[in-house]
Structure 1
């Protein structure tokens, strides 16, 4: 996967080099990417999952080729502002799951929608991918707005979690 470029953002796919730099720390990641890395660009759960992501990229050629997600870099400010997670290996129905995090200081500016829409468009163009799903907390109004804005539809409620979906056949060219 190459970088996906939007109006305001670069989506830089996770590679072994990037994940290793992120494991070492923010100064190393900033050096590798040649951007400013905000101290709160990732949450604790993601930080703990970096070694697992590195193993997945190493062990699975398809996953390594497409990545496990992308870093979200603000083009004008050359700043890492978040990331997208993409479980790209489809299940037997051709479904993959997407998730996203934007640092608080860059929220409510449309970056989550811009990044997630671009990644979904790219994903749904890949062979074998038929739909993208996402989940969010029922109380997370901002995430619900993002998912609605990018064309996903609510398909299920699981406790406090809302499950969203967009099928390849639903995309209007």
Structure 2
């Protein structure tokens, strides 16, 4: 799968083999990708997501669809460090909608990385013919994530007792 780059960020969609290695030996991914991190964010919950969601979806996907079923690592090009991860949680559906989820590594929180990373991903989405809309959910008390989405032009379109739901149209 091809990486996508802006001036500041490199987005790396992991292959199936890389996700398998990431689960067992995240330090090997550090070496394989040539990044400067000492560790990667891989708590047990993400390993469970990899095993129960990411890997089955990747194994069932065509080569063209794989980018919609994997974890993406976001690398700060200036320091060559993975600063965050992003994932397409659903889609594209028949309308061209995809759902994203993301998380910044704790040592990079509060530095504006997620805003830049989501912006970079939206640039990638503009180049992908199947993507017409990107949406995300945030916990109502997750003010940082809410700001990330607002700064990237997402608008709230629904809510329930726990979450806000946001979307942005992809202009081609």
- Shorter-normalised TM-score: what interval? 0.7 to 0.9
2:77 to 51, 75, 78: 75
2:30 touches 2:39 (CA, 8 Å); kept in 1?
A: no
1:150 to 149, 152, 157: 152
Per-residue CA deviation, residues 44-96 of structure 1 (Å, 9 max, x unaligned), is 32221112312221221032255524101122222222200113631222211
**In structure 2, distance between residues paired with 1:43 and 1:135:** 21
Are residues 120 and 156 of structure 1, via their aligned partners in 2, closer, same or farther at CA, if it must alter by over 3 Å?
Answer: same
Name the residue aligned to 1:53.
54
How far off is 1:14 after superposition? 1.7
CA RMSD for the aligned pairs?
2.0
How many Å apart are 1:105 and its aligned residue?
1.2
Instruction: Kindly indicate whether the alpha-carbon contact (under 8 Å) linking 1:83 and 1:100 is maintained by their aligned counterparts in 2.
Output: yes
Listed as ranges, the gaps of 5+ residues in structure 2 are: none
How many residues are aligned here? 170
Find the aligned partners of 1:106 and 1:127 in 2 and give their Cα distance: 32
The 5-angstrom pairing of residues 32-51 of structure 1 reads 32-39=32-39, 41-51=41-51
Alignment of 1:120 onto 2:99: no
Shift of 1:38: 4.6
In structure 2, the residue matched to 1:163 is 165
SS of residue paired to 2:165: strand
Provide, for residues 80-119 of structure 1, a one-character-per-residue CA deviation record: whole Å limited to 9, x for no partner: 2220011363122221101111012111211101111111
